[in-house]
Amino acid sequence: MAEKVVLVTGAQQGIGRACALAFAAAGYDVAVNWLDDWVAAEAVAAVLRSAGRRAALIQGDVGSVAGCQAIVQGTLEALGRIDVLVNNAGIFPRVGFLDMTEAEWDRVLGVNLKGSAFTAQAAARAMVAAGTRGSIINLSSQAVRGTPVGVHYSATKNGVVGITRSMALALAPHGIRVNAIAPGTTDTAQPRYGNSEEELQAMGRALPMGRLGRPEEIADLAVYLASDKADWVTGQVWHINGGGYMP
């Protein structure tokens, strides 16, 4: 494979970190976007470099359009191109619907939905300008079915499905494919907010497959969707959840 570049947002931990490592194993150079933990991000980059790949640390917050554009521009300056975008960065502050504030609503929609849309826009503009037949992979969630402590979060993850389908139509004439992955409960730090370790493992045992998902499994699916093997796949939502949700 000719050298290709993937930008992974929120790559300092969890599914984002797993995606960075999986794409490097598949031969990609990686832009590691991070927000607030340089040590964790640098540790990811060190693993990538030890595997012989170029890795660029791109600090930035996708919660503003300017931040989205700066992350993409930083990737282009550091690595020269973008072939794949993995829109992974997201937040899920738990709050009951009756207690949710306007500020909490705006922050979650700003990061999860606006951030995904405008990072994709900036990356797609770079791909179109370079004549790149690229791939954009958005992270949705099993929370599309609803969650009582995340009305704002569920709204964004349903919104990610909508923008994925619409962007797929808009970018198909340019040879850019857009798909979404909707993970179920995955063994990362995120589901540990608000759940004890015992509760989390019980959630895994309750699934038909009897366990939590592994971040590497989500990452492997992302690599497939970016590959030539998925060249006729666009506008789709891929549910990966151990049988916990079957839409």
As annotated, the active-site residues are: 141, 153, 157
Sheet holding 84-87, edge to edge: 55-59, 28-34, 4-8, 84-87, 135-139, 177-183, 237-240
- Residue 101, phi-psi category: left (phi > 0), alpha (psi -120 to 50), beta (remainder): beta
Paired sense of beta strands 237-240 and 177-183, if any? parallel
| Distance from C-alpha of 177 to C-alpha of 83, rounded to nearest angstrom | 11
How far is the C-alpha of 191 from the C-alpha of 184, rounded, in Å?
A: 10
CB 180 within 8 A of CB 164: yes
Which residues lie below 8 Å from residue 211, measured CB to CB, with a gap of 6+?
204, 205, 242
